Amino acid sequence: MAKTGIRRDSKHRVLRRGESIRWDGKYQFKYHVNGKAHFVYSWRLEPTDKLPAGKKPCLSLRELEKQIGYDLDSQMHPEGRSMTVEELVERYLSTRIGVKPNTKANYNFVKNLMKKEDFYYKKIGDVKTSDAKLFLIKLQQDGKRYSTVKTVRGVLRPAFQMAVDDDVLHKNPFGFELAGVVVNDSVTREALTRDQMRKFLKFVHDDNVYCKYYEVVYILFHTGMRISEFCGLTIKDIDLGNRIVNIDHQLQRLSDMILVIEPTKTSAGTRKLPVTEDVAKCFQAIIEDREKPKVEKVVDGYTGFLFLDDKGLPLVVMHWEHRFNHMVKRYNDIYRVQMPNITPHVCRHTYCSNMAKSGMNPKTLQYLMGHSDIGVTLNTYTHLGLEDAEDELKRLEDLQNAKKELERTQGEKPVSQRMFKAI
Query: Measured between alpha carbons, how far is 272 from 394 in angstroms, rounded to an integer?
Result: 35
Among residues 271, 348, 349, 357, the one annotated as catalytic is: 348
Among residues 189, 323, 345, 403, the one annotated as catalytic is: 345
Q: What is the DSSP string of 66-106?
A: HHTT-STT----HHHHT-BHHHHHHHHHHT-TT--HHHHHH
Let me know if 38 is a catalytic residue: no
Let me know if 322 is a catalytic residue: no
Let me know if 349 is a catalytic residue: no
170 secondary structure, DSSP code: S
Q: Are 113 and 74 in contact (CB under 8 A)?
A: no
Among residues 265, 297, 330, 403, the one annotated as catalytic is: 265
Among residues 77, 249, 349, 371, the one annotated as catalytic is: 371
Let me know if 381 is a catalytic residue: yes
Let me know if 226 is a catalytic residue: yes
Let me know if 96 is a catalytic residue: no
Give long-range contacts, CB 8 A cutoff, 24+ apart: 125-130: 125/67, 125/80, 125/81, 125/82, 125/83, 125/169, 127/85, 127/160, 127/173, 128/173, 129/171, 129/173, 129/174, 129/175, 129/176
Residue 250: count other Cβ atoms within 10 Å of its Cβ. 23
Among residues 44, 77, 81, 226, the one annotated as catalytic is: 226
Q: Are 342 and 348 in contact (CB under 8 A)?
A: no
For 114-141, letters b (16+ CB in 10 Å) and e give beebebbeeebbebeeeebbebbeebbe
Among residues 100, 199, 381, 383, the one annotated as catalytic is: 381
Q: Are 44 and 26 in contact (CB under 8 A)?
A: no
The 3-state secondary structure of 116-134, one letter per residue: CCHHHHCEHHHCCHHHHHH
State the catalytic residues. Answer: 226, 265, 345, 348, 371, 381
